[in-house]
Chain A
Amino acid sequence: MSSDTSSDNEDDKDTASKSRGNLAEDETLDWLKPRALLVPEDQEDVPEAELDEEIGRFLTTINPQWVADEVAYHYGQAKFVVKPKPTFGKAYPLYIYQGTAIRKDSDEAKAQIAAGYGKVGFDDAGPKRAKAKKSTTELEEEEEPEADAPPTEENKAEEDVPDEEKANEVGGEDHEATQADTAADEETEAVADEGAEEQVPEDEGGGGESQVEEVIEIKPRVKKLANQFNFCERAALTYNFPKRSVDTQTVPPPRANFGATCLQSIIFDFYQEDYARKQREKEEEKPKRLRKKTAKHVKSAQQIHDEQLAQRIREAWTILERLVNQNIFDEIAQDYRYWDDPSDEFREGMGSLLPLWKFQFEPMRSHAVCDVQWNPHYQDLFAVAYGSLDFTQQQKEGCLCLYSIKNPAFPEYSIITESPIICLDVYKETPYLICIGRYDGNVCVYNAQLTLESSYQYKSDSVRDKHSNIVWEIKWGARMIDGEASFFSISGDGRVVQWAVMPGELQATTIITLQSNVPPIPGPDGTLLTVNSCGSCICFHPEKADIFMVGTEDGMIHTCSLKYNRNYVRSVQGHHMPVYRIHYNNYNNSIYASCSGDWRVKIWEDGRDEPLFMFELGSPVGDVKWAPYSSTVFAACTADGKVYVYDLNVNKYRPICVQAVVSKKTKKLTRVDFNPRLPVIVCGDTKGTCHVVKLSPNLRVMCKPPKKAQVADQRTLQIMKLDKLLSLVRDPPFQTGVVDEKFDDD
């Protein structure tokens, strides 16, 4: 229970201290509050006046506690005696203790030393015992310098403690009896100590009472004496780690030897050599481009030999192929050369077309002939561009082929391109250079002279400056001021771009961007998108190199100039459907023909808004071309597979020949081209076949010179013929010449 209560108290204290701590903390915070004193309930009520009263205190030398006539019972006298007044003056002893120390040089001490204190019992202690106990005694005691013996003394004392205590008790009582007067107070303290020391005199057995007293007083003093040599040194040796030295040596910097001799002659020679080298480099820098090219084409002797051999074999095979073809197509060749339709003589003003060869390239059977053009230099050669006009199922690749009518079996030159070819043009100055426009918007220049393995010679940069739409037509232009060849392309993105054939690259310049009448269309984010009209064909003026005409997909025919890149020189709403071809007359530069998907072919004169002639062919007209040999003859091909040949001089309203070249169910005619010298035309269809047909004599009637001017050449006559015709049509000026075929029928 007591423990419980104590623990409870402790708890209370803890809580109290805690609360006090809290209070203290609170106080630190609440120092601003007025302090309210906690008052115990049982506090005596003291009036304010008494609390404020000052109470003085005085210090005196008189002890107020002392009772003057205090008495005490004296047992000796068996009566009460008055206690004497203390005589200490101002000091008042509270406690009196009699010390045991005496001065060394005092008489008493001298007497003790003289009496031989300390040597007593020295001999009795056995030296062996002293040694055995030495360490312990040494640690415990400090002894006088001369006292070799004390340890033994001490040892002895300790050993005999139990016996001595008993003896002490006896002896002590004896002493007390004798010493009662002198050292009554000390006795109790001294008893314990005395026991050990007293034995000496007792063992001696000879000591009187006085001797005993001395011993008692001296004993503590012996204990306190110090021995300056009496100490012990302790040391420990830790493990020493063996020393170890580690060093490295870096590799010395590499050195080399060099020796030379310098003499004036050596210096001179070296300068000469260096100078010569520099001269050589300078010379070589100039034709850097050429050197690079030659370096690129450097081939080993073996390769050259192989190529030469291959070329020779190829030539041999070509001759053999020609021989075979000549035999196979002998009849056609004969027809081409000699057969003229005899019926022409009987039907005046009407002609016919004689189908001759058909050209097909096996890999391109599903492609359409997108463009066909006779070579301006080699009359038997024509170039064909294979692409596709079915835009829902566009072919992945195209092909450029050169066919010779001497070899209908296989193209002379064929190269597969990675995108369908839509248009081509053969350069008149160097007829082996052919530029093509592709479905993906790129334009390329191919060199037919290079071997079949070689790729294009120039190609537009697909990233930087290609068209963003189909290149619809491409035409070589005049040479630029600094002599580079250039060609123009028109694309569905509404741009006409001039491509300068620089060495190694094509440099594009946008000539004109075709603007349309459509107002800007607001884009999804509020920007206005201007809509370009899509160009579909381009045609250059035969004489004025900077004038060209552009047909668009909305039927407009714009006359533009290279000098203006914003405005049109003239604009005519020529058709209602995309214009497929515009072609200038070969004899009169102000007359041109156009054809369109709105089934019509129109003949225009520069500066007139209305056509001179208009013919409706009943099907989209893919192409129209003026004949090179006559100023009034032109041919057109339609999507229903027919070729129309008109001679305005013979019949202003009707074609002089309509002939279905291909079946209109499966094929459409796309392009047509007159051979510049031979009386044949070539037309391409949508199944990759090119048809070469011969014009019957009625279709190629030459002008008979009038009797007056026999010397005039054919060209003059042709121009005169056209002028005569035009004068009929123009007069009266308001286009009465525009006559519809249907009216004519009526």
Chain B
Amino acid sequence: MAEEGAATVGASEKVIHTYPLIRHSDMSEEMRIEAMELSVTACEKYSQNNELAARMVKESMDKKFGPAFHVVVGESYGFEITYECTTICYMYFGGNQAICIWKCS
């Protein structure tokens, strides 16, 4: 603990957080974890291609929770969406990517 604390004090400015971080979600616990893991896997697999990552997440979510999921992966965008309740998950990953998953059919 002490070492960790010292490290963070020394390099607090340079610390880059890459862990997945839920910004907004009303999913159930199970679904949220699933979505989070999927996003992490997809973004790590297609780190250079957001489109492919989004497609992978969308298709997997469609398979698992029924169709008509929409996924946006990107570094800088704005959105205003209508979603079915308990199906939205807006999260950050890798320190610079924002992933928005929602369902609307």
Stretch at the interface among B32-40, B43-51, B53-61, B77-85: B77-85
A221 to B66, CA, bound (A): 85
The answer on a CB contact under 8 Å between A255 and B83 is: yes
**What are the residues of chain A within 8 A of B83 when measuring CB–CB?**
255-258
Task: Give chain A's interface residue range (CB within 8 Å of chain B).
Answer: 20 to 34
The answer on a CB contact under 8 Å between B104 and A255 is: yes
Q: Which of B57-76 contact A (CB under 8 A)?
A: 74-76
The answer on a CB contact under 8 Å between A264 and B23 is: no
User: Is the C-beta of A262 less than 8 angstroms from some C-beta in chain B?
Assistant: yes
Interface code A241-271, partner B: CB below 8 Å = 1, 0 otherwise? Answer: 0000000000001111111111110011011
A117 to B35, CA, bound (A): 105
**What are the residues of chain B within 8 A of A274 when measuring CB–CB?**
17, 21
Known: A270-B23, A279-B8. A259 touches B80 (CB 8 A): yes
A274 to B78, CA, bound (A): 22
Select A270's contact among B21, B74, B78, beta carbons within 8 Å: B21
Q: Which residue of B lies closest to A256 (CB)?
A: B85
The answer on a CB contact under 8 Å between B104 and A262 is: no
**What are the residues of chain B within 8 A of A261 when measuring CB–CB?**
77-79
The answer on a CB contact under 8 Å between A262 and B15 is: no
User: Is the C-beta of A317 less than 8 angstroms from some C-beta in chain B?
Assistant: no
**What are the residues of chain A within 8 A of B76 when measuring CB–CB?**
262-264
A258 to B78, CA, bound (A): 11
A635 to B50, CA, bound (A): 93
Q: Which of B89-105 contact A (CB under 8 A)?
A: 90, 92, 95-98, 100, 102, 104
Select B74's contact among A255, A262, A271, A279, beta carbons within 8 Å: A262
Q: Which residue of B lies closest to A272 (CB)?
A: B17
The answer on a CB contact under 8 Å between B79 and A259 is: yes
How far, in Å, is A278 (CB) from chain B's closest CB?
10
Select A271's contact among B80, B81, B95, beta carbons within 8 Å: B95
Known: A261-B78, A275-B15. A254 touches B85 (CB 8 A): yes
Q: Which of B6-38 contact A (CB under 8 A)?
A: 8, 15, 17, 21, 23-24
The answer on a CB contact under 8 Å between B17 and A275 is: yes
A334 to B104, CA, bound (A): 95
The answer on a CB contact under 8 Å between A258 and B102 is: yes
User: Is the C-beta of B42 less than 8 angstroms from some C-beta in chain A?
Assistant: no
How far, in Å, is A86 (CB) from chain B's closest CB?
102
The answer on a CB contact under 8 Å between A267 and B98 is: yes
The answer on a CB contact under 8 Å between B82 and A256 is: yes
The answer on a CB contact under 8 Å between B84 and A254 is: yes
The answer on a CB contact under 8 Å between A258 and B17 is: no
**What are the residues of chain A within 8 A of B100 when measuring CB–CB?**
260
Q: Which residue of B lies closest to A259 (CB)?
A: B80
**What are the residues of chain B within 8 A of A271 when measuring CB–CB?**
17, 21, 92, 95
The answer on a CB contact under 8 Å between B81 and A259 is: yes
**What are the residues of chain B within 8 A of A275 when measuring CB–CB?**
15, 17
Q: Which of A373-411 contact B (CB under 8 A)?
A: none
**What are the residues of chain B within 8 A of A282 when measuring CB–CB?**
1
The answer on a CB contact under 8 Å between B104 and A259 is: no
Q: Which residue of A lies closest to B80 (CB)?
A: A259
Select B81's contact among A257, A264, A268, beta carbons within 8 Å: A257
**What are the residues of chain A within 8 A of B97 when measuring CB–CB?**
267
The answer on a CB contact under 8 Å between B82 and A257 is: yes
**What are the residues of chain B within 8 A of A260 when measuring CB–CB?**
23-24, 78-79, 90, 100
**What are the residues of chain B within 8 A of A268 when measuring CB–CB?**
95
A263 to B24, CA, bound (A): 15
A254 to B83, CA, bound (A): 9
How far, in Å, is B93 (CB) from chain A's closest CB?
9
A263 to B21, CA, bound (A): 15
Q: Which residue of A lies closest to B15 (CB)?
A: A275
How far, in Å, is B57 (CB) from chain A's closest CB?
16
Q: Which residue of A lies closest to B77 (CB)?
A: A262
The answer on a CB contact under 8 Å between B78 and A267 is: no
Q: Which residue of B lies closest to A253 (CB)?
A: B84
Known: A262-B76, A274-B21. A267 touches B92 (CB 8 A): yes
**What are the residues of chain A within 8 A of B84 when measuring CB–CB?**
253-255
Q: Which residue of A lies closest to B103 (CB)?
A: A253
**What are the residues of chain B within 8 A of A272 when measuring CB–CB?**
17
A282 to B8, CA, bound (A): 14
The answer on a CB contact under 8 Å between B90 and A258 is: yes
Select A255's contact among B78, B85, B90, B96, beta carbons within 8 Å: B85
Known: A271-B17, A275-B15. A258 touches B24 (CB 8 A): yes
A673 to B83, CA, bound (A): 81
How far, in Å, is A264 (CB) from chain B's closest CB?
6
**What are the residues of chain B within 8 A of A279 when measuring CB–CB?**
8
Select B75's contact among A254, A256, A258, A264, beta carbons within 8 Å: A264
A253 to B80, CA, bound (A): 19
**What are the residues of chain A within 8 A of B78 when measuring CB–CB?**
259-262
A553 to B81, CA, bound (A): 84
Known: A258-B102, A264-B76, A275-B17. A270 touches B92 (CB 8 A): yes
The answer on a CB contact under 8 Å between A264 and B96 is: yes
Q: Which residue of A lies closest to B105 (CB)?
A: A253
How far, in Å, is A679 (CB) from chain B's closest CB?
57
How far, in Å, is A253 (CB) from chain B's closest CB?
5
**What are the residues of chain B within 8 A of A255 when measuring CB–CB?**
82-85, 104
Q: Which of A132-161 contact B (CB under 8 A)?
A: none
A279 to B17, CA, bound (A): 13
How far, in Å, is B81 (CB) from chain A's closest CB?
6
How far, in Å, is B31 (CB) from chain A's closest CB?
15
Q: Which residue of A lies closest to B81 (CB)?
A: A258
A262 to B75, CA, bound (A): 7
Q: Which residue of A lies closest to B74 (CB)?
A: A262
How far, in Å, is A472 (CB) from chain B's closest CB?
48
**What are the residues of chain A within 8 A of B8 when measuring CB–CB?**
279
How far, in Å, is B91 (CB) from chain A's closest CB?
10
Q: Which of A254-311 contact B (CB under 8 A)?
A: 254-264, 267-268, 270-272, 274-275, 279, 282
How far, in Å, is B94 (CB) from chain A's closest CB?
9
A257 to B79, CA, bound (A): 10
How far, in Å, is B72 (CB) from chain A's closest CB?
9
The answer on a CB contact under 8 Å between A267 and B95 is: yes
Interface code A335-356, partner B: CB below 8 Å = 1, 0 otherwise? Answer: 0000000000000000000000
Q: Which residue of B lies closest to A282 (CB)?
A: B1
A275 to B80, CA, bound (A): 27
How far, in Å, is B70 (CB) from chain A's closest CB?
12
Select A253's contact among B74, B79, B85, B90, beta carbons within 8 Å: B85
A120 to B84, CA, bound (A): 96
A279 to B9, CA, bound (A): 12
Known: A260-B90, A261-B78. 10 other contacts (CB 8 A): A256-B85, A258-B24, A258-B80, A260-B79, A261-B79, A262-B78, A262-B92, A270-B23, A271-B95, A275-B17
List residues of A whose CB falls within 8 A of some B CB.
Answer: 253-264, 267-268, 270-272, 274-275, 279, 282
Closest 6 CB pairs of A and B: A262-B98, A259-B80, A261-B78, A271-B17, A254-B85, A253-B84
User: Can you show 19 pairs from A to B with CB atoms below 8 A apart?
Assistant: A253-B85, A255-B82, A255-B83, A257-B81, A257-B82, A257-B83, A258-B24, A258-B83, A258-B88, A258-B90, A259-B80, A259-B81, A262-B76, A262-B78, A263-B76, A267-B96, A267-B98, A270-B23, A279-B8
List residues of B whose CB falls within 8 A of some A CB.
Answer: 1, 8, 15, 17, 21, 23-24, 74-85, 88, 90, 92, 95-98, 100, 102, 104
